[in-house]
Structure 1
């Protein structure tokens, strides 16, 4: 330690530096302060509008049934009106509802409803809390990857002032929970990368690289951050199935990170050796743990599996034989098997522990039916706000989730001139400056990952690709811009890393650093100003028709 360092730092020195913590009190104070500001913005007037916005009509009600009945029951036809009138009795039908997404996000929505009541604030508050926690995790991830508290806060500010994340934080939809758990899982993987390299540095004698063999294997089997990541991946998959794509992509990345760590300490043929010594244990931590968490999240189904066997064991999805055609916007099976049923529907009911295999088999059959629904029965549908995933980074088609139009001058606070009117709207759209700047940052990230072999940019690229590109295979069915919130943290990360590169590592005031600070600071300010300009259409604010058109920059945004 007393010797002067010359040349490039060794693997041991790099591993130790990664775990050095700078100004923890200041960084955590700033992080928490930013998180509280995000929470305040998301809680402000959260109960407005007092209605079911977009798919809240499904998830808010499913969540309420889940936390009251243990499973999702069907609702009577006028349930929405009854709930908005304050009635929470006589809402359900006898049988279960065919839900097409897992339960974790609905449990979180339901927790808010149980605490604050079955009203718009109650079913949105969980999203507000989780959306604010996303800002906190974003700060910590960026800070860890850059070593800069300032850049960590920049990442948090960018995420906090994105319109897509903000509006989803004020809606009872599932995607904000999905994005949060994916971000947490990836953050844990980055922590594991640092932890693993530091572990190798302690196990391999300083300055004595491994000349033969595998390096430490048994002593590196326990990787607590991989366990944390596996838990988060399970929760992400338990919110929406699409989390399996980034799970697979980052699982491969963990393998290569581990191989790179072994190679830096002298291990030869590190990739195949890491496949056995690191990738196999990582599979257990990430995939098997996630699978256990996922199945556990279906406890309500497993406990009430007989209800599903009695009512949903022979639906049109069960009877589907592999081919069909469109009749207008309805998908029709060509040759349905009318006799098809879950095998458990005709089996004698089991009790106690012997019922577990039967419940799991029913859960498998249910998943098969849901998969048929997603991959076939939506193919003929259309929606006013559906968008092509190829244009998500351009914000090609935002989603209008609420609108109150035709408010006349002189009524309800409308100050429009005679002959015009006012309106209120909630529009699910990202902050344009951030997303359009993100396109440039992502291209730069690809160049830095491939050209400079900077692993940090690889996190942004892999995260964006794995949460975005899989949607291209479903571009003929109704999918929506707000699905892109899962890739937003990686767009923000690409922007933050690009800003860090612009500013440079030196603290000395150079021409490059001055220019980098000006450009980067201007961009962040523009993002905040752009968010402020769109604030009324994020929050159901009252606008004259002309003021609204000033914010609708393209006809596809209407």
Structure 2
């Protein structure tokens, strides 16, 4: 007997199911037909846009999807590399705080500790006297890892090359772009949305400048973002393990007591100490998860962040608390009765053991040269308390005492630092881009160079972000804050945690001797928020074709403006010689001068 034919009404069901699929796999069509029960055909309004149709053609097969993704990531990364590495040797002199970090990186990688230099150390270095340093230790207030990276870059490419002084920061600044793409992929699950923040980071002036000047903050940004990526990966594995554990628990309990449901019923909030009216049907506390490789990887990345600058401690604290919150949310979703106490009191101590001891060990390892030589600042050899005679225990005890004394001095330095600087910027100004940092100015008088015969020229390196990108990021953070009260999601929370981990501690301390370029540490999270805002403006591929096309065109025009603004500011980010009137045109606000 032949199988019965499918009724015509299944067409509408199939169309409805297609619109529920992700935008990357949804089949876009300019005309969608639906059939009524009576058999008459009516046409729904066209949906999608020219961009959706083009995207569908590019991603029609698995091979096409992979090819498209590789091309997008490759192009964005190539652009990031070009704007960071081309003319990396310009300006051909020590710029801003390179006078500290290039010198310290070189002596640290040669001696195992930071050493003193004679007066005018920057001029000595620029003149090629790279071994003019002394053997006496130098008092430094930042951990060694970032300076090691700078020093190793100099060794690889040669101290005589200005390019080598900045090679490490340029490499890490470039790698941060595909890393941000991976973070966006974990959050958004789509190629297009992940590409937006990565592209913004590739062409933003703030990110470009700190990737072309040998300071430490680009390393802080990279390792904090790497730790965040691992936290997102841990969230997926953590969730899978909890849900599977609860599923197995329900199977076992259902076999004993059929009244225990096999389906998960999310637990409810409770603000009373009284027993619930209905007996809970889920497990009490849930599992303890020891197998957390991504959490351990996050701890290692954040240890590296702290070993560059102590501000990495804030990222460690915020991200660790965030993993507990994610754990509690998953337990609640799975129907675990004591979901909050299970996350805090049962899983929390285990997560602490998986992260904090490892972080401490790796931080100490970054000081390996200081411990081994004993010649660094406040070291046991440098202070004369160790002459090589004594037991291993004596050496360990003395080294530890002097190390802790050194760390205490660093803490006191940071807590009391209040020196003035022309480019000090209060943290409350940072979201508005009121006072970016000028790293270098060099004026060429009219008539002294072929390019400057009639007008004075300027070679400037200023950390002004692309203002369109930066202000969009600030607005988008505010947008996510509002959404958290309207329709909260873990993705919104994740971005806000990363942003406030970097920004809130500075805002609360009320410090005045700080600079706007510190924003680089949490700039990627502003860009992730921007992607969400743009997604909201774009709407969905299932929207009416005219509305969808109009919004696609508006956003495409916005991207063109962003690119043109970056091209306009690029000479002031890279020290290119430009006429002073052109330079003045880049001062949109009074504080940008």
Correspondence 1:296-375 to 2 at 5 A: 296-309=365-378, 345=385, 350-352=390-392, 354-375=394-415
Match of 2:327 among 243, 258, 275: 258
Query: What secondary structure, in the 3-state scheme, does the structure 2 residue paired with 1:520 have?
Result: helix
Q: Distance in 2 between matches of 1:489 and 1:303?
A: 37
Q: Secondary structure at the match of 2:353?
A: helix
- Name the residue aligned to 1:189: 231
- Between stretches 387-396 and 502-511, larger displacement belongs to 502-511
TM-fit CA distance, 1:523 = 3.0
Of the three residues 413, 420, 435, the one matched with 1:382 is 420
Aligned-partner Cα distance in 2 for 1:437–1:374:
32
Asked whether the equivalents of residues 379 and 402 of structure 2 are also in contact (C-alpha less than 8 Å), the reply is: no
Partner of 1:291: 360
1:93 match: secondary structure: coil
Rounded Cα–Cα distance in structure 1 between residues aligned with 2:390 and 2:140: 25
SS in structure 2 at match of 1:402: strand
1:55-105 alpha-carbon deviations (Å, 9 max, x no partner): 00000110000110011011111432222122223x122311001001111
Distance 2:196 2:290 in 1: 35
| CA distance in structure 1 between the aligned counterparts of 2:235 and 2:75, rounded to whole angstroms | 28
Structure 2 residue 451 is matched with structure 1 residue 414: yes
Instruction: Tell me, yes or no, if the aligned pair for 2:457 and 2:580 is still in contact at 8 Å.
Output: yes
Could you tell me which residue of structure 2 aligns to residue 72 of structure 1?
Answer: 114
Single out whichever of 277-286 and 37-46 deviates more from structure 2. Answer: 277-286
Aligned-partner Cα distance in 2 for 1:397–1:138: 26
User: CA-to-partner distance for each residue in 1:424-473, whole Å, 9 max, x for gaps?
Assistant: 11111211111111121111111122320111111221221221121124
Pair 1:259–1:108, CA change in 2 (3 A): same
Q: Is the 8 A contact 1:502 1:513 kept in 2?
A: no
TM-score (norm 1): 0.85
The CA deviation at 1:346 is: 8.6
1:18-417 correspondence to structure 2 within 5 Å:
23-24=65-66, 26-89=68-131, 91-118=132-159, 119-205=161-247, 208-209=263-264, 211-214=281-284, 216-218=286-288, 220-309=289-378, 345=385, 350-352=390-392, 354-376=394-416, 378-379=417-418, 381-409=419-447, 411-415=448-452, 417=454
Q: Alpha-carbon deviations, 1:187-245, whole Å to 9, x = none?
A: 11111111211223433438543833346524x32111101100011000111111111
Q: Distance in 2 between matches of 1:32 and 1:204?
A: 41
Q: In the alignment, is residue 479 of structure 1 matched against residue 517 of structure 2?
A: no
What's the CA shift for 1:532?
Answer: 0.8
Give TM-score, length-normalised by structure 2: 0.80
Q: 1:399 & 1:67 partners in 2: Cα distance?
A: 29
Does structure 2 conserve the Cα–Cα contact (< 8 Å) formed by 1:416 and 1:422?
no
Mapped partners of 1:25, 1:284: distance in 2: 42
Q: 1:351 to 1:161 in 2, by over 3 A?
A: farther
SS at match of 1:426: strand
* Displacement of 1:284: 2.4
Match of 1:458 in 2: 493
Task: Quote the residue 1:325 is aligned against.
Answer: none
Unaligned ranges ≥5, structure 2: 1-12, 26-61, 249-261, 266-280
2:270 alignment counterpart: none
Cα shift at 1:521: 2.6
Shift of 1:357: 2.8
Instruction: Give the deviation of 1:361 after TM superposition.
Output: 1.8
Query: What is the alpha-carbon distance in structure 2 between the residues aligned to residue 247 and residue 149 of structure 1?
Result: 28
3-state secondary structure, aligned to 1:102: coil
Residue in structure 2 matching 1:497, options 516, 521, 532? 532
Alpha-carbon deviations, 1:300-334, whole Å to 9, x = none? 111123553469999xxxxxxxxxxxxxxxxxxxx
Task: Note closer, same or farther for the CA distance 1:485–1:350 as it changes in structure 2 (3 Å cut).
Answer: farther
CA distance in 2, matches of 1:349, 1:383: 47
Structure number, greater radius of gyration = 2
Q: Shift in Å at residue 348 of structure 1?
A: 8.7
Which deviations, in whole Å up to 9, do the C-alpha atoms of 1:360-415 show, x marking residues without a partner? 22111000011111112x22x20011111101111111211111113323x43324
Distance 1:303 1:353 in 2: 14
RMSD: 2.7
Judge conservation of contact 1:387–1:479 (CA < 8 Å) in 2. yes
Deviations 1:112-133 (A, max 9, x none): 1010112421120111110111
Shift of 1:136: 0.6
Q: CA deviation at 1:24?
A: 4.5
Which of 529, 536, 542 is 2:571 aligned to? Answer: 536
Return closer, same or farther for 1:513/1:196 CA change in 2, 3 Å cut-off: farther
Residues 229 and 310 of structure 1: CA distance in aligned 2, closer, same or farther (over 3 Å) = closer
- 2: distance between equivalents of 1:516 and 1:221? 47
